Structure formats: C-alpha cells, structure tokens
Structure 1
Amino acid sequence: MTRTVMQLFDLKGKTALVTGGSRGLGLQMAHALGEAGARIMLSSRKAGDLEEATADLQAAGIDARWIAADCAKEEDIRRLADETLQRMGDIDILVNNAGAAWGAPAEDHPVEAWDKVMNLNIRGYFILSQQVAKRSMIARRSGRIINVASIAGLGGNPPEMTTIAYNTSKGAVVNFTKALGAEWGKYNITVNAICPGFFPSKMTAATLKNLGEDKLAEHAPLRRLGDDEDLKGITVLYASDAGKHITGQWLAVDGGVSVVTGG
C-alpha cells in the first residue's frame, strides 16, 4: 500500500548521529531529525556545549544524548562510532557536519592550517562514514548519510574572501558525496550533500562582520540570510523514505546566491 507523505517523512524508530551538533546548523539539523521522530546522538569537541544542546533538544521532547569527540582525530572518530553503537544500537542516519574554516590569502596561507581544514572537513567525513557503514549500515542494507558541504565548494569567492582551504575542502565534500553515493547504492545506502549559503554562525562571524550582513543578504535573490528553519526540510527529506530514491546529489540552500553567481 502506498504510504502517505507524513508516513514517508516519519523517522520514528531511527537513530541519527550528528557531528558538529552542539550549535548552529548541526543543532538545527538535529532538531529536524528529532522532531521527525529520530533518536539523536550529538557530537562535538566540547562537553559543556553538548550538555547545553542536548538539554535544548530534550526540552523539545527529543530523545537526545551526547559524546564529546574531535573529528579531526582518527582515534576519536573510531571511539565515537564505538560508543554510539554501544549506547544507541544501529545507526540509521549519519550527518557529517563537523568543520573548520581558515581565512588567509592563498600566497600566504599556512600549510598547517590547510592540513587542519582538509583533515576535519573531508578526511573526518570519510573515516566516520566508513566506520558507520562497515559496522552498521552495510550488513543491514540500509542507511542515510548526509554531508554538509557549502556553496563555497561550488566555485570561487569574491576577492575580499580568502578561504581557499575551506572552499577546496567543501568542493571535495561534493565529489566525495557523488562517488560514495554511486559506490554504496548497492547496499541501499543513500549519500547526499547540503550546500548552505550564508547562515549566521560562529564560523561565518568574521565574514559577516567584514562584509556586513545586509550586504551579503543583497547578493541573494531572496534578500536574506539563512535562518533557524531553512535546513530542516532538506535534512528530513534526505534522512527519510521520502528521499529514498535520491543519492549522490547536492542541493544549495542559499536563498538563490549560487544561481546568480553561477555555482
């Protein structure tokens, strides 16, 4: 029998692991998954931030827990997978969101900063996806992986924005998503990416200060930045059976910025 739309979007009985989930876009996505019925395991580096975020989710009636881990460190990633599986059982949904940025002109960009950004923003995504798939999703022939990329990964920047490592890493996330979606489709694992535009966050604070929120909003056809709801719909679509025939894809959630800039 064909399911209703509400049934297709229902995530009751599912478990989601969300990295970089203690604030900003990660916490917004965790709220979306929890509101759709999923149990949530949050992760980020700082226990205090995670305690606060978990309490926020629980206050909304969401079953949420947390594990502090640094997704730039392979041993932490493996521990995160171990503890999540031990405490929550199989992982149905993985949201790779932990990330870093670094601003510097390309000619002066420190190599160690390049390595830091690439290590967290793409290497960490690969290792955690591999761990979760091998230990939970492949054997069950079921899984949803959501990678957070960025419209910065779709092209270059205005001259005043010098984030070459970040842009490169997010471009890698887009192609990682395509390649992994193609390879793991045989296991009924979907892999998709979200490419946010400008959302007020700690990561974008310097850019917002330097360029001005109003100026950035003017570049968007919708004339505004992203808000606390704008990633919720696409997150639940990718995570649920409503999106079960979508894989290897990316979608810009940017108010139309990439349309006018050619991304």
Structure 2
Amino acid sequence: MQPSELDCPVEIVWCIGEVSPLVGSLTASDFSWLSVAEQDLVRKMRFPKRIGEWLSGRWTAKQLLSRYLPHLANQQLSSVSIESHPDGYPLVWVDGKPLKGCLSISHRQDKAAAAYTTEKDVLLGIDLEWIEERHPAFLQDYFNDYEIEWVQAAPSGERAARTTLLWSAKEAALKALQLGLAIDTRMIEVHPHIEGDSLDWQILEYCGDLSKEGYRLIGWWQRRGDYMITLAVNLPATEPPAFYLREISLSD
C-alpha cells in the first residue's frame, strides 16, 4: 500500500444501542429482521442472556450500517447478514455479497455498541464496558506491572474506572488485531491520555509488538455515564492519517 492511499481523513462511524433485546422488535421470537444464516445461528443458542446480547449487538450494528450507507437505507434488515469469521470477527454480507470495510460490535449489560469504516486497510475494534470493581487477582491476571501501578496510583473512587478503561482498551485492541483472547493481554500495554473532559474522545497509546509487520495500533477512549467506550484501529504504519470519529444517533 502506498502512503498516499490514507492521505484523506479516515471516517469511523459508531453508535450505542439504547434498546433492550427483549422488548418490541427485538423479542426472542421475532427473527424477521435476521438473515437466514443469522436465524439458524441464534436458534442454536441455549442461554437467554447470550441470545439477548447477540440480538442487541446485531440490531445495533444493522441500524448503524443502514443509517450510514445510502445504498442500505431502504434495504430490508434481513438482507444484511452479519456472520462470524472462524477467528471471531464479524463479516458483513448484503444480498450474498461481501460489504467493503470493517465492522466491530460490542455488548455489555443492556447496551450494545458498533463501529464501522469503509477504509479497506484499517482494521477496527470497539469495546463497551460497564464500570465496576474488579478483584485484585483480575489485575494480576490481565495487566502488567506498569498498568497495575497506574490503577493503584488513582484515588480509590477512580480505580474501578481506570481498571475498566485498561481492560476495555485491551479488548478493543485484540479485536482490531483480530486475535480475540488468544494471547496474553499483558503483552499489550495501554497508555491512556487523560486531558480535559472524559466525555470527549481521548487518545490511547499502545505498546507491544503484536501488529503484523508494517502496521501499528492507535486508539481512543471516552466515558459515557457508567460505561467506558474504547476504539482501536490497526493500520499501515505510515504517517498516521487524520481520523474523524462520528457518532450516529439511533434515536431519530
């Protein structure tokens, strides 16, 4: 890839779904908005919690795509099929044809989040986490010494938020790397920037050597109420392009 291919700003659209998967059009018995492949998959799921999270994530992602991409605006949601690659990341098909770009989905509690870019050379990961206390053993299992020290240096009332931020940033990075939890998360060291209002996007710096040769990881984070949201991109390691992070409202 030539450096000039990413000279223009890269747009990433994202959203948070405020809907519950167990009411209205998201009842477990109403699968009309799912593709045939999606219906087959959800019918094999056994646990209501898993079904609810899965439906909420797919619904949110399809709403994002249909609001952002003009050619999907009038498409039936069932014509959009979000399926899983064997390595776990989502692949999107529209009427049986692959959709250009990269989609990422996350769900936590009663909310879901999705992010998408049309840029073919940018791999994307989004993560949504509920801010909560974690057992000290969690830090030892998933964070390195630097990260544990950063969490413990915070006032006691902020440690849960810092822990959640680091974990979410690692989850987003693993999605962008298309690795899932197949590696030791301590191999990805996270350096969050904290400047001004945490309701705005802040920069995430990653240290580690997990991107394939010629690629690099960068990211962002923000707090939204009792949730932490992180975005990570895995992109060619040329001069990084400008990014435009645009939230799409699902309440319109």
Q: Structure 2 length as normaliser, TM-score?
A: 0.32
Is the strand fraction higher in 1 or 2?
Answer: 2
* Relative contact order higher in (CA < 8 Å, ≥ 6 apart): 2
Q: Structure 1 length as normaliser, TM-score?
A: 0.31
Is the helix fraction higher in 1 or 2?
Answer: 1
